[in-house]
Amino acid sequence: MRFGILKAGTATRRTRERVGDMDAQFMALLAQPGQQWETFDAEHGEVPADPGAFDALLITGSAASVCDADPWIERLLETIRTAYAQQVPLLGICFGLQAVAQALGGKVAPNPQGWDLGVAALELTEAGRRLPTLAGAAQPLQILESHSDIAVALPPGAVVLAASPRTPVEIFTLGERVLCLQGHPEMDREMVRELLEKRSQKGLLDPQRAAEGETSLRLTPHTAFLQGWLRAFLRDGRMPTAA
């Protein structure tokens, strides 16, 4: 199987030296023997010439906002629209969720509650609870977060599977071939702790919010469950419907 990573951002130097850049993090989380993974430097304008040549495309996080008018973002959104039209499975993570939502008819805006940084506790919606492969998920489902934008409207036909107190759209699907998560299953707590420190130093977080984020890191993200769930989506090329 052949998968493409549309790398929309770059990890911090400390993280790159420790575990690699964003594409390496996703390959460590999701790649399995016999699969071929290719990276496209989307934040510098590189996208697949033919999205249909891939069994699935993964869109990573980014420090950018999909609301920005940068040419590379519009090129990425057009690639997402092309892939969707070709029925290529799409997996969007954080900025990737927002890019998929924006590309396919939704809307993204700054979160009125500000930055969501730390471990978030996700509650499944009724639709999420009905999905057999989420029936075994811990409740709440814990995942690392690092974002200040959110999807405020979803594409027609999209279904929200999970929400959290700060982020109303944590997981959504669109048909069987689109799965998007606002959180970061590829990250570890050290990465988020570094981001908390950097954003606090830049004045982007007030002391109370920074302390809340640091306290949340005592919780354990349910990475193993998310890893298996996302691997099944990529392997099957559609939302898994059986445990």
**Identified catalytic residue from 43, 145, 170, 186:** 186
User: Following CA atoms 199, 60, 172, 70 in sequence, which dihedral angle do they give, to the nearest 10 degrees?
Assistant: 80
Residue 147 among the catalytic residues: no
Rounded CA separation 138/90 (Å):
24
- For residues 172 and 180, what is the distance between their CA atoms, to the nearest angstrom? 5
94 catalytic per annotation = yes
Is the link from the previous residue into 140 a cis peptide, with omega within 30 of 0? yes
Query: Where does residue 227 rank: exposed (0-12), middle (13-18), buried (19+ CB within 10 A)?
Result: middle
Instruction: Given the residues 43, 94, 170, 222, select the one marked as catalytic.
Output: 94
Q: Which of 43, 145, 180, 184 is catalytic?
A: 184
Residue 183 contacts residue 102 (beta carbons within 8 Å): no
β-strands 90-93, 107-110 pairing: unpaired
In the annotation, is 67 catalytic?
Answer: no
What element of type H or E holds 141?
A: strand 141-147
Residues taking part in catalysis: 94, 184, 186
